[in-house]
Amino acid sequence: MSGPLEMLVTPQEMGRIDHAAAASGIDSYALMRAAGTAVAARLLARFPHVERVAVLCGPGNNGGDGYVAARACAQAGVPVVVHSLGDPAKLEGDARHAFDDAGMQPQALADYHPQGGDVVVDALFGAGLSRAIEGEAADCIDRIGEAATPVVAIDLPSGVGGDSGAVLGTALQAVETVTFFARKPGHLLMPGRDLCGTLSVVDIGIPARYASLADSRVVENTPALWQHVFPHAQAAGHKFARGHLGVFSGPMSATGAARLSAEAGLTAGAGLVTVASSGQALAVNAAHLTAVMVKRVDTLEDVRDFASDNRMKAFVLGPGFGVGAKVRDYALALRENALVLDADGITAFAEERPALAEAFSAGDTRLVVTPHAGEFARLFPDFVPEEGRSKLDAARLAAAAINAIVVFKGSDTVIAAPDGRAAINTNAPPWLATAGAGDVLSGITGGLLSQSMPAFEAAAAAVWLHGEAARHAGPGMTADDLPQALARVQRDGLFADRRFDGSAGRTS
Ligand SMILES: NC(=O)C1=CN([C@@H]2O[C@H](COP(=O)(O)OP(=O)(O)OC[C@H]3O[C@@H](n4cnc5c(N)ncnc54)[C@H](O)[C@@H]3O)[C@@H](O)[C@H]2O)[C@@H](O)CC1
Ligand SMILES: Nc1ncnc2c1ncn2[C@@H]1O[C@H](COP(=O)(O)OP(=O)(O)O)[C@@H](O)[C@H]1O
Ligand SMILES: [K+]
């Protein structure tokens, strides 16, 4: 591969790429041989003392890769058994060719019973999985799961949808997955990402230029996506040059969320941060804030005044605010500004999405909404992920519907823009799912927006930094620890200690 491919390619696009490569004269059977051989090499490297390799071959080209791998393992001197789903006499094309070359007589899939010392090569279904797995394939997958036999999956663990990461019927849990040319969304979206185990991407000889046949706007979220517009603070910069962020506080009983968000915004580099608080909550906010300022905002008129100050560059509204007409009115009053709408601010528009979409419809994209799955379903009941619609599709549809950046949160947060750009985030550790973590994310996003970072890149950078901060903070952290951890991530050289060229895990 001439350069690492950041982009994610759907199984449909991969099919187009395969066809175009074959049509241009590239030998498709040579690609299959390269694929199957790479899988065998990976297996033997990971399990040098394997006692027996059990290759489970399906009815398509994924099975073809399996026959190549079976032969390569046998040639390496490892005992191999092959079990096929369906009659191998019906195989066609390259898969037929691979079966003939392997010269092995497969047994029925129903007759595979895992033994201690086995490693399974999963060549049942790859990109061509088109419906739920059931019957003897499902039974076999269950037996392997019960026996906890290690599985090396070809292209995708069987049962995982390549474009969604969803399980169709049932799926194998792999320890290794070897895919070809480029990763598919299902390798990054949950639960697919977990079911893959260690993922490697192998160059099987398809020229990288064929990537132009796929939609290059869908990528993994790494600094490569936004580093070029990241606002590294200038030593000589005035604090106003770094932008002023406003964060709206909830009532007296719910002020903590806004303060968490405000502190995160400051740490993310906003020059100034002000918590906008009702008079009633002013004292409690003031008592808990030092570097962050407090301003009294009681009425819609006050909000308009606050927003019209042209030093104000971005706002965060929603965390702890309360659901109702007030939060809607405030959001609509901020329509000319960069706005992060989170939590209650999202829920409040459940019945009034058109008003939100209308307010932010014209001009540059400046609204960022940050729903978790529950909030997403409230604001976008028409787009929730379901069969045939991945989380990636859902976020892109939602972004286009309201002309906003949609940050669809979770362990596989998707950041989507109305123009179709999208990124899947993969660096968030499970312990990030803790009370208040979402408030911190909205603050980081606001802090980056206040420094005039474009909205899509600001949201993607915020999600990545949030995950990175949580990794630094470690298990047992609370949301209160995140701003400090974020400072450490930035201080210790934000981009220094990790690789961002998308090549991690790639072999070629
Ligand atoms: N040039 C190429 O096209 C290359 C393709 N490669 C391999 O080819 C694979 C794709 O091959 P295919 O498109 O033939 O697809 P698959 O081999 O993934 O599966 C398609 C077959 O499975 C059947 N099927 C789908 N879902 C089923 C279900 N739930 N229950 C029972 N049967 C089901 C289909 O009817 C079809 O016969 C890739 O995943 C990759 O492993 C590699 O050999 C590299 C080169
Ligand atoms: N299983 C998980 N692994 C990693 N990160 C997660 C997981 N579940 C949720 N998150 C992240 O944790 C944060 C939780 O935010 P949110 O749901 O708004 O919680 P809260 O309202 O308590 O702040 C989000 O950034 C989300 O992406
Ligand atoms: K497979």
Instruction: Report how far apart, in Å, the C-alpha atoms of 7 and of each of 178, 199, 281, 290 are.
Output: 17, 15, 47, 43
Question: Residue 333 belongs to what domain range?
Answer: 223-507
Q: Is 326 marked as binding a ligand?
A: no
Q: Is 262 marked as binding a ligand?
A: no
Residue 504 confidence class, pLDDT cut points 50, 70, 90: very low
- Spatial contact of 123 and 65, defined as CB atoms under 8 Å apart: yes
Are residues 152 and 275 located together in one domain of the fold? no
Instruction: Report how far apart, in Å, the C-alpha atoms of 34 and of each of 39, 122, 203, 206 are.
Output: 9, 17, 8, 10
Are residues 72 and 155 located together in one domain of the fold? yes
Are residues 199 and 334 located together in one domain of the fold? no
Q: Rounded to whole angstroms, how far apart are CA atoms 501 and 498?
A: 9
Are residues 350 and 298 located together in one domain of the fold? yes
Residue 186: partners with Cβ closer than 8 Å, 6 or more residues away: 11, 156, 160, 161, 162, 163, 164, 165, 166, 192, 390
State whether the beta carbon of 171 lies less than 6 angstroms from ligand 1: no
Q: CB under 6 Å to ligand 2: residues? A: 372, 409-411, 413, 428-430, 432-433, 435-439, 441, 466
Q: Is 243 marked as binding a ligand?
A: no
DSSP string over 393-461:
HHHHHHHHHHTSEEEE-STT-EEE-TTS-EEE-----GGG-STTHHHHHHHHHHHHHTTT--HHHHHHH
Residue 384 pLDDT greater than 50, yes or no: yes
End of a domain among 212, 239, 260? Answer: 212
Residue 167's pLDDT is 98
Are residues 474 and 362 located together in one domain of the fold? yes
Q: Is 65 marked as binding a ligand?
A: yes
Residue 506's pLDDT is 34
- Report if residue 36 sits inside a domain: yes
Residue 249's pLDDT is 98
Ligand nearest to the CA of 342: 2
Supply the residue whose CA is at minimum distance from atom 39 of ligand 1: 126
Ligand nearest to the CA of 462: 2
Distance 437 CA to ligand 2 centre (A): 6
Residue 297: partners with Cβ closer than 8 Å, 6 or more residues away: 248, 276, 277, 278, 303, 306
Give CA torsion, residues 317, 322, 326, 328, to 10 deg.
Answer: 50
> Encoding tokens for residue 435?
């009370």
Distance 68 CA to ligand 3 centre (A): 14
- Report if residue 217 sits inside a domain: no
Supply the residue whose CA is at minimum distance from atom 36 of ligand 1: 60
Angle at 114 between CA 109 and CA 120, to 5 degrees: 75
Are residues 200 and 228 located together in one domain of the fold? no
Nearest to 357 by CA among 406, 309, 318: 406
> Encoding tokens for residue 186?
């299902």
- Nearest ligand 1 atom to the CA of 125 is 18
- Report if residue 165 sits inside a domain: yes
Q: Is 128 marked as binding a ligand?
A: yes
- Domain of 80, CATH number, reads 3.40.50.10260
State whether the beta carbon of 35 lies less than 6 angstroms from ligand 1: yes
Are residues 236 and 192 located together in one domain of the fold? no
Distance 61 CA to ligand 1 centre (A): 5
Distance 129 CA to ligand 1 centre (A): 6
- Report if residue 3 sits inside a domain: no
- Nearest ligand 1 atom to the CA of 169 is 29
Residue 45 has a CB neighbour count (10 Å cut-off) of 10
**How many domains are contained in the chain?**
2
Residue 4 confidence class, pLDDT cut points 50, 70, 90: very low
Element (H, E) at 118: strand 118-123
Ligand 2 pocket test target in 340, 425, 432 with most atoms within 8 Å of CB = 432
- Spatial contact of 334 and 303, defined as CB atoms under 8 Å apart: yes
Residue 242's pLDDT is 83
Residue 66's pLDDT is 98
Residue 235's pLDDT is 54
Q: Rounded to whole angstroms, how far apart are CA atoms 239 and 187?
A: 42
Are residues 51 and 141 located together in one domain of the fold? yes
Supply the residue whose CA is at minimum distance from atom 3 of ligand 1: 18
End of a domain among 212, 240, 261? Answer: 212
Mean pLDDT of 344-348: 98
Are residues 317 and 245 located together in one domain of the fold? yes
Residue 508 confidence class, pLDDT cut points 50, 70, 90: very low
Which region among 14-23, 182-191, 225-234 has the lowest average model confidence (pLDDT)?
Answer: 225-234
Are residues 348 and 453 located together in one domain of the fold? yes
Distance 333 CA to ligand 2 centre (A): 28
Residue 5 pLDDT greater than 80, yes or no: no
- Report if residue 359 sits inside a domain: yes
Distance 142 CA to ligand 3 centre (A): 15
Kindly report the backbone phi and psi dihedral angles of residue 293, in degrees, each rounded to the nearest multiple of 5, phi listed first. Answer: -90, 170
Mean pLDDT of 110-122: 98
Which region among 42-56, 58-72, 228-242, 284-298 has the lowest average model confidence (pLDDT)?
Answer: 228-242
- Report if residue 112 sits inside a domain: yes
Q: Is 412 marked as binding a ligand?
A: yes
pLDDT digits over 460-482, tens only?
A: 999 999 999 999 999 999 999 99
Question: So what's the ipTM on this one?
Answer: 0.96
State whether the beta carbon of 61 lies less than 6 angstroms from ligand 1: yes
Ligand nearest to the CA of 154: 3
- Domain of 300, CATH number, reads 3.40.1190.20
Ligand nearest to the CA of 120: 3
CA 209, 36, 47, 122 torsion-angle sign? positive
- Report if residue 261 sits inside a domain: yes
Are residues 176 and 262 located together in one domain of the fold? no
- Spatial contact of 171 and 137, defined as CB atoms under 8 Å apart: no
- Nearest ligand 1 atom to the CA of 21 is 1
Distance 396 CA to ligand 1 centre (A): 27
Residue 118: partners with Cβ closer than 8 Å, 6 or more residues away: 50, 51, 52, 53, 54, 149, 150
CA 7, 12, 16, 18 torsion-angle sign? positive
Which region among 227-241, 250-264, 299-313, 359-373 has the lowest average model confidence (pLDDT)?
Answer: 227-241
Are residues 171 and 251 located together in one domain of the fold? no
Ligand 1 pocket test target in 130, 181, 184 with most atoms within 8 Å of CB = 130
Q: To the nearest whole percent, how much of the chain has pLDDT over 90?
A: 92
Burial classification of residue 265, based on how many CB atoms lie within 10 Å of its CB (0-12 exposed, 13-18 middle, 19 or more buried): buried
End of a domain among 154, 184, 212? Answer: 212
- Spatial contact of 320 and 439, defined as CB atoms under 8 Å apart: yes
State whether the beta carbon of 162 lies less than 6 angstroms from ligand 1: no
- Report if residue 2 sits inside a domain: no
Distance 4 CA to ligand 3 centre (A): 23
Q: Rounded to whole angstroms, how far apart are CA atoms 370 and 366?
A: 13
